Amino acid sequence: MSLLVLGIETSCDETSAAVLEAPRRLRSHVILSQDAHRVFGGVVPELAARTHLRTLDRVVATALEEARVRGSDLDLVAVTAGPGLVGALLVGVVWAKTAAWAWGKPVIGVHHMEAHLFATELEHPEAQPPFVALLVSGGHTMLLFVPRWGEYELLGQTRDDAAGEAFDKAAKLLGLGYPGGPEIERLAAQGDPTRVRLPRPLLHGPPEDRYDFSFSGLKTALRGKAQAAQARGAWETERPHLAAAFQAAVVDILVEKTCRAVADTGCRRVVLGGGVANSRALRTALRERLGDGELYAPSPRLSTDNAAMVARAGAFRFATLGESSGLDLVARADLPFPGLRRRAPVPA
Ligand code: KG4
Ligand code: ZN
């Protein structure tokens, strides 16, 4: 018997709802991206929460209409409970609990990053554990080994900015819009990455740096180069090279650390997740380095925030692990990743 799940995602600036016939048949999927943040150069938390509040009703109603189901037909309501912006999360969590209660259905709170991990599997049924996962979003950068669903061994994570956040900040420095990743990618296509030298922080350090990431120094180095170009009156001609060099540095770091994880675990299947997985430069470089290893990445629609992945992760927790949340489910900005533990370090 199939499981009909309503997924709800409001952790940041996308208001999204999806109806999934688990495991992988997507009956409907609505994503409303809040464009208003563009003019502020980043997400304004209060504005995000207020917009979710205004639109979530219609977004869910549309998802149900498009899937031709009523609330009473559902088996489960899955909602992102964290991590994310607490006001934004709260809108989704309260909505999901209220609807589940009214329909007499179970509700489950989902971890946003576990959902990103499931996004790829929705389109690529072969993207099953064991695999090495690189989760790169606006809020997180994590390198994991996944022996089976629900068990996540943390190899490394960022010590400061997330990869997506680094792209967003670099874009701002280069006078580009938000979100920064796609803008940098566009400008970088006209530039030559070898024209500007940027560092690769934590790439060749002691064993404790083997898998961790740090992007804030890279951003500072970019600022220095940008200021120097401006002082020389070479701003317009240098900008594409600066964008290309920055993108190349981030990609180099992500690819190298992921390949280390592949070598150390002996697992040649890699799954990408999160908005930065959209980067063509990242995918191309990883595919090249992995050779005949397997690489699975979500399509653009499923790589950034969406409710389909939330429904999929919720279905797994509910059907496979037998979990559900009570009506005391709360939104948590710092929700711990379920099943996450540090993997024992490998000798250098
Ligand atoms: O997963 P996501 O939608 O939201 C979070 O959970 O944070 O990721 C958004 C991030 C943004 O920082 C955006 O700049 C980045 O993904 N991004 C990209 C690209 N497309 C989106 N970064 C690099 N290259 C891209 N093509
Ligand atoms: Zn996300």
Report pLDDT digits (tens) over 97-137: 999 999 999 999 999 999 999 999 999 999 999 999 999 99
Alpha helix ranges (H) inside the chain = 45-67, 86-103, 112-123, 163-173, 180-188, 216-231, 235-265, 280-290, 300-303, 307-315
Which ligand has the minimum distance to the alpha carbon of residue 43? 1
Q: Ligand 1 within 6 A of 276 CB?
A: yes
pLDDT band at 23; cut points 50, 70, 90: very high
Residue 344 has pLDDT above 80, yes or no: no
For the stretch 207-232, pLDDT in tens is 899 999 999 999 999 999 999 999 99
Among protein residues, the one whose CA lies closest to atom 23 of ligand 1 = 181
**Which protein residue has the closest C-alpha to ligand 1 atom 3?**
304
Task: Point out the ligand nearest to the CA of residue 140.
Answer: 1
**Closest atom of ligand 1 to CA, residue 179:** 14
For residue 164 and ligand 1, the question of a CB distance below 6 A is answered with yes
Residue with tokens 């499931």, as numbered in its chain: 118
What per-residue confidence (pLDDT) applies to 245?
98
Q: For 32-36, what is the mean pLDDT?
A: 87
What's the mean pLDDT in 162-175?
A: 96
Burial grade of 318 (CB within 10 A; 0-12, 13-18, 19 or more): buried
Q: Is the pLDDT of residue 347 over 60?
A: no
pLDDT band at 43 (very low <50, low <70, confident <90, very high): confident
pLDDT given at position 345: 66
Ligand number nearest CA of 136 is 1
Residue 35 pLDDT level (bands cut at 50, 70, 90)? confident
Averaged pLDDT for residues 47-76: 97
Angle at the Cα of 181 from the Cα atoms of 312 and 336, rounded to 5 degrees: 40
Closest atom, ligand 1, to C-alpha of 304: 3
pLDDT at residue number 317:
98
What per-residue confidence (pLDDT) applies to 41?
Answer: 76
Ligand 2 midpoint to CA 206 (Å): 31
Q: Which amino acid is at 345?
A: P
CA gap 310, 317 in Å, rounded: 11
**228 C-alpha to ligand 2 centroid (Å):** 34
Instruction: Express each pLDDT in 302-325 by its tens digit.
Output: 999 999 999 999 999 999 999 999
Ligand 1 site, residue 275, Cβ cutoff 6 A: yes
Task: Evaluate if residue 42 carries a pLDDT over 90.
Answer: no
What pLDDT score was predicted for residue 87?
Answer: 97
User: How far, in Å, is the centroid of ligand 2 from the Cα of 238?
Assistant: 32
Predicted confidence band of residue 205 (pLDDT cuts 50, 70, 90): confident
> Ligand 1 in contact with 185 (CB < 6 A)?
yes
> Could you tell me if the CB of 12 is within 6 A of ligand 1?
yes
Q: Is 278 in the pocket of ligand 1 (CB under 6 A)?
A: yes
> Is the CB of 87 inside a 6 Å radius of any atom of ligand 1?
no
The pLDDT-based confidence of 299 (bands split at 50, 70, 90) is: very high
Ligand 1 pocket, residue 304 CB under 6 Å = yes
DSSP letters, 63-124, are HHHHHT--GGG-SEEEEEEESS-HHHHHHHHHHHHHHHHHHT--EEEEEHHHHHHHHHHHH-
